[in-house]
A and B are shown apart, each in its own frame.
With several copies, the nearest count.
Chain A
Amino acid sequence: MLEFERDLDELREHIAELERDAGADPNSQVARELAVLQLELETRTADIFAHLTPWQRVQLARHAQRPHTQDYLDRLCSDFTELHGDRRFADDPSVIAGLATFEGRSVIVVGHQKGRSTAENVERNFGMAHPEGFRKALRLFDMAERFGRPVLTFLDTPGASPTLDDEKRGQSWAIAENMARLARLRVPVIVTVIGEGGSGGALALGVGDRVLMLEHAIYSVASPEAAAAIIWRSSDHAEEAAAALGLTAPDLLRAGLIDRVVPEPEGGAHRDFDSAAANLRAELARMLEELCAQNVDDLINARYAKFRAMGEHQQAPAV
């Protein structure tokens, strides 16, 4: 439960209590009181969510109850066959990948996977992929191209796993190879940031023809804590960093770094997985249709041009 959600939740509990007492009579005192409270809940929710600070969005994006990749796959795909392993070193549970049917089409799906319980989070390394997780993804990207299947990726990670063992197995190399492969993959690729889009670990699954973000997802060059540690020399300044980094979906849409913000249900995706998934389905279906109709050479040329254009520089006389 997030701080700014707490009084909304108290209100919700109060409403639920009254509902139990209200009985059938729509004109009772309790029923009238209920109507007022419900209006208040809606208004206050709308008000809070209309003025979310970047830091509040960071908290929403990391919400323990927020839907993760598997939750979306369950709702978007009529069948999902998870495939395991990088055929090199290990199977990394912090990335899930496989074959699925989306809107009648066979697709390859790949996403970071956070856990919900502590045990599952340990198992899934809190969604921080190891090199072998990225290499499992790479294997599936290759498979997608070989069999001409579009790719849907789902980004939800604090960042790539940064331990000494990850360095030993070439974390930087794994990330870079995935970007290079995705940049030239001869099938459509649609990227969705569903929660935390953390740094290079996110971008390793993030190069595609379209990049979508859920309304309260974030996407950042570094986690606010890491950026604060670098810039303010202390992670206590994470909230300031979040504000400075321009990491929210609306910010990034304005910056031209993403293509679309997918609206979340009132109160955030964690309050209603089904409508979050339904909103995403609508966008993905439309875009996939459009991309699958394109000539492959045009597709990868456009993809190149898209990332080619990301950046702002200016001219200056040589110093």
Chain B
Amino acid sequence: MAVRRRGGVQSYPDVPVDLWVTCRKCGGMHYRPEFEAALRVCPSCNYHDRLDAAERIALLLDDPGEFREIDADVTAADPLGFRRPSGSYVDRVAKARALTSRNEAIVCGIGPLHGRPVALGVMEFGFIAGSMGSATGEKITRLFEHALRHGLPVITVTASGGARQDEGLFALMQMARTTAAAARLGEAGLPHICVMADPTLAGVTASFAAVADIIVGEPGATIRFAGSRVVQGTLRRRAPVEDHTAEWVLRQGMLDLVVPRRELRETLGRVIGHLAPAEAAAPARVTAKAARV
């Protein structure tokens, strides 16, 4: 599969696309070039549409060309020999790899933000709904460990349906594993900032993401513990639309901030400037703005 490559950041191959996009939230129709120029933010309802990992990395770093991906070769095994009616887990993974040009549901690496190197983990929702299996957990754990070894702050961007059922209890244990790695980073006084993008659900919400020092929600993102199928089975009621959006979760006291996409890089840089140890910054490359912080 031919992909464009820029310093480890991968983009999908150019394919013909429609000139109009439909907002996933409000159904509004938008002219694609304008929608893309607005960073995929709906002008009608402010929903922040999903970005793939490459787009996200480009959005967050000073220069995505400087992103050095790590652990790109880690991919899912099939510990249970799992089959769904629709096919085997092995096939699902193979399809996801083909679709996203990624080996797993997260892309990890190091890159500069406000002139400071940060450890960045961005979930790839297109890879089996961003679900967390063993390999996903392995990569997240390695990211925290890498940051700990090198004294780097960590930024994670979540977009996930939760634990990957196809790996059974192995998937559940990734919650404990990644959370333990995050907790160990915290003991060393290194900050972890989590950006919860649409959607952040279940086993990802309830693990490394929720124990971040600062949690930023993307406008309109669905953030919740229990999937709607589970809840409707239990409660026999539909949640109102505004429940479980980032704005709602902020009012419930669970998020620090909801930040518009256009301000996200600036906000993250500023927050990390406040929390990260001073010596972790690479002074030669500190921008004027970051130096003030």
Question: CA A257 – CA B172 in complex, angstroms?
Answer: 10
Contact A164 B253 (CB under 8 A): no
Question: CA A151 – CA B55 in complex, angstroms?
Answer: 37
Question: CA A16 – CA B207 in complex, angstroms?
Answer: 52
**Which B66-122 residues sit within 8 Å CB-CB of chain A?**
69, 72-77, 79-80, 82-85, 97-98, 100-103
Tell me the nearest residue of chain A to B186, going by C-beta: A146
Contact A235 B233 (CB under 8 A): yes
Contact A162 B253 (CB under 8 A): no
**Which A129-176 residues sit within 8 Å CB-CB of chain B?**
132, 136, 143, 146-149, 160, 162-164, 166-173, 175-176
**A315 CB contacts on chain B under 8 angstroms:** 73-75
Contact A170 B180 (CB under 8 A): no
**Stretch touching chain B among A2-10, A77-85, A268-276:** A77-85
Given A143-B213, A200-B202, A313-B76, verify A307-B176 contact (CB < 8 Å): yes
Given A84-B255, A86-B253, verify A257-B169 contact (CB < 8 Å): yes
Interface of A is mostly: mixed
Question: CA A226 – CA B234 in complex, angstroms?
Answer: 10
**The one of B133, B226, B271, B293 that contacts A162, using a Cβ cutoff of 8 Å:** B226
Give the contact-size bracket for chain B.
35 or more
**The one of B98, B191, B257 that contacts A147, using a Cβ cutoff of 8 Å:** B191
Tell me the nearest residue of chain A to B239, going by C-beta: A164
A282 within 8 A of B: no
Question: CA A257 – CA B182 in complex, angstroms?
Answer: 21
B183 within 8 A of A: yes
Given A176-B208, A308-B180, A313-B135, verify A91-B250 contact (CB < 8 Å): yes
Question: CA A106 – CA B271 in complex, angstroms?
Answer: 10
Contact A79 B134 (CB under 8 A): no
**Which B224-250 residues sit within 8 Å CB-CB of chain A?**
224-227, 229-231, 233-235, 239, 243-244, 250
A184 within 8 A of B: yes
Given contacts A87-B254, A106-B293, 15 further A-B contacts (CB under 8 A): A78-B292, A81-B267, A81-B271, A84-B257, A87-B253, A89-B253, A90-B252, A162-B234, A163-B235, A166-B225, A175-B225, A176-B206, A313-B138, A314-B135, A315-B75
